[in-house]
Amino acid sequence: MSCNCNSGKKEQQSRRSFLSKLIYSIMGIVTVILAIPFITAMLEPFLRQKKPVWRRVAEANDFKIGETKKVTFKNSTLYKWSSDISKTAAYVRRDNDNEFIAFSVNCSHLGCPVRWEDKPQLFCCPCHGGAFYRDGSRAAGPPNRGLYKYPIRIKNGSVELETQAIPITNITV
Ligand code: FES
């Protein structure tokens, strides 16, 4: 009488080997799927658009000479999914017929939004009492430098700012 033990063992081994390969393949696929968000997050700073972008923020004729106004615009670093969160602001002043100046709305201390006060002609920060003169230089409080100034130009009657990441000096990254 012949015994089928060997062929049964072989069948069992090949089934086991098939199942282990299947399990390892599934684990490999799951690992790759789980790794995609981490890899994307790590590569994101390199893939993000870093080039400065000129943005139209107002019409030049909207400004009286000497007037300082807040304008809003989209950041230079836009994500496809970003909408209103990509908006930022700046203060623009018309110094004379052809000269405009633009200040970041973010305090150079820790980035709180400053507000323009017409009477004392100061930019005031509500967070820690920082203050800046009308030319953006530091007047008082913890900031150790003036407000960041945006490059600005007039093109076809429109005021345009060159948007870019704002350096905040008191934060070391
Ligand atoms: S963030 Fe403006 S003074 Fe601190």
| pLDDT for the residue 5 | 62
Which string of DSSP letters, residue by residue, matches 51-105? Answer: S-EEEEEEEGGG--TT-EEEEEEE-SS--TT-SGGGEEEEEEEE-SSS-EEEEES
Cα dihedral sign for 69, 71, 77, 82? positive
What pLDDT does residue 82 have?
A: 61
User: 142 CB less than 6 Å from ligand 1?
Assistant: yes
Query: Does residue 9 sit within a domain?
Result: yes
| Terminal Cα distance for the chain, rounded | 80
Q: Is the pTM of this model over 0.75?
A: no
- What does pLDDT average to over the chain? 86
Do both 105 and 21 map to the same domain? no
- CATH code (residue 137): 2.102.10.10
Ligand 1: centre distance to CA 20 (Å): 60
Higher per-residue confidence, 72 vs 85: 72
* Mutation to probe ligand 1, out of 103, 104, 108, 110 (largest number of atoms < 8 A from CB): 110
Assess whether the C-beta atom of 141 lies below 6 angstroms from ligand 1.
Answer: yes
Is 169 contained in some domain?
no
Kindly state whether residues 35 and 2 are assigned to the same domain.
yes
Domain span at 153: 53-163
Asked, for residue 170, whether it belongs to a domain, the answer is no
Q: What is the pLDDT of residue 19?
A: 93
Looking at the fold, whether 62 and 9 belong to one and the same domain comes out as no
Does the beta carbon of 109 sit less than 6 angstroms from any atom of ligand 1?
A: yes
Regarding whether 138 and 80 lie in a shared domain, the answer is yes
Number of domains making up the chain: 2
Question: Residue 4 — very low, low, confident or very high, per pLDDT cuts 50/70/90?
Answer: low
In a domain, 171, yes or no: no
Residue 41 or 124, more confident:
124
